[in-house]
Amino acid sequence: MFERFNTPEEIFTYKLGSALSMERQLVDLLDRLEKCTLREEIRHPLAVHREETLQHVANIEHCFKLLDEPVDDSPCGVIEALANESKTMIKKSDDSLPDVLILAVASEAEHYEIAVYETLIANADARRGATAVAKLLRENLAQDKHALTIARTLMKTILEQGIAVDASA
């Protein structure tokens, strides 16, 4: 959409589009991770967060509407790289170990999302008339922070109990 950024608003629009792309990629990644996990206590939170992520997509699309801008999903290479790395690592790991890798990827993705939303919210707060946009972005941020807390808690539990699971069970 932009060959060159000339205003802070253009940067904001581009980053908002990148966040949209990020969330769309995360829907697919969460679906794949959910199918790879061996533990129901991980599968369920991944499914819940995938549904929340679908709402994140809708919230960002609504932000574009509120800003009276065309929806643009600018590229987001970070999530694509995380997805590729997770796929490779799961393939290289013993069949009893995917859960710890899944939680690591989920945590990394949430950290990135949190940073993206904090930046977007700061920009939306500084932009006159964008309070409704900032509110939607804060909703997404709150859910991502909650998802990170769940991933951390599950990771701690798994590491304390032992990582491996009998994959044949």
CATH code of 120's domain: 1.20.1260.10
Total count of domains within the chain: 1
In a domain, 167, yes or no: no
- Which pLDDT belongs to residue 29? 95
Q: What percent of the chain has pLDDT over 90?
A: 73
Report pLDDT digits (tens) over 12-46.
999 999 999 999 999 999 999 999 998 999 999 99
- Which pLDDT belongs to residue 72? 84
In a domain, 33, yes or no: yes
Residue 118 has pLDDT above 80, yes or no: yes
The pair of structure tokens assigned to 152 is 């951390």
In a domain, 94, yes or no: yes
Alpha-carbon gap, residue 63 to 111, rounded angstroms: 22
- Which pLDDT belongs to residue 169? 52
In a domain, 166, yes or no: no
In a domain, 80, yes or no: yes
Q: Which domain holds residue 154?
A: 8-161
CA atoms lying within 13 Å on the CB side of residue 103: 23
Task: Provide CB contacts within 8 A for 71, sequence distance 6+.
Answer: 17, 20, 61, 64, 65
Lowest mean pLDDT across 14-18, 154-158, 165-169: 165-169
* Average pLDDT across the chain, whole number: 91
- Which pLDDT belongs to residue 102? 93
Alpha-carbon gap, residue 159 to 156, rounded angstroms: 5
Residue 95 has pLDDT above 60, yes or no: yes
**29-50 burial: b if 16+ Cβ within 10 Å, else e:** bbebbbebbbeeebbebbebbb
Higher pLDDT, 146 or 87: 146
- Which pLDDT belongs to residue 127? 81
Alpha-carbon gap, residue 102 to 50, rounded angstroms: 14
In a domain, 169, yes or no: no
In a domain, 1, yes or no: no
Report pLDDT digits (tens) over 56-80.
999 999 999 999 999 988 888 999 9
Burial of 84 (0-12, 13-18, 19+ CB in 10 A): exposed
In a domain, 110, yes or no: yes
Residue 168 has pLDDT above 60, yes or no: no
Positive or negative: CA dihedral 153, 155, 160, 165: positive
Residue 165 has pLDDT above 90, yes or no: no
Alpha-carbon gap, residue 26 to 159, rounded angstroms: 25
- Which pLDDT belongs to residue 167? 55
Mean pLDDT calculated for residue range 93-119: 93
The string of DSSP codes covering 43-99 is HHHHHHHHHHHHHHHHHHHHHHHHTT--------HHHHHHHHHHHHHHHHS-TT-HH
Distances (CA, A) of 25 to 29, 63, 101: 6, 18, 18
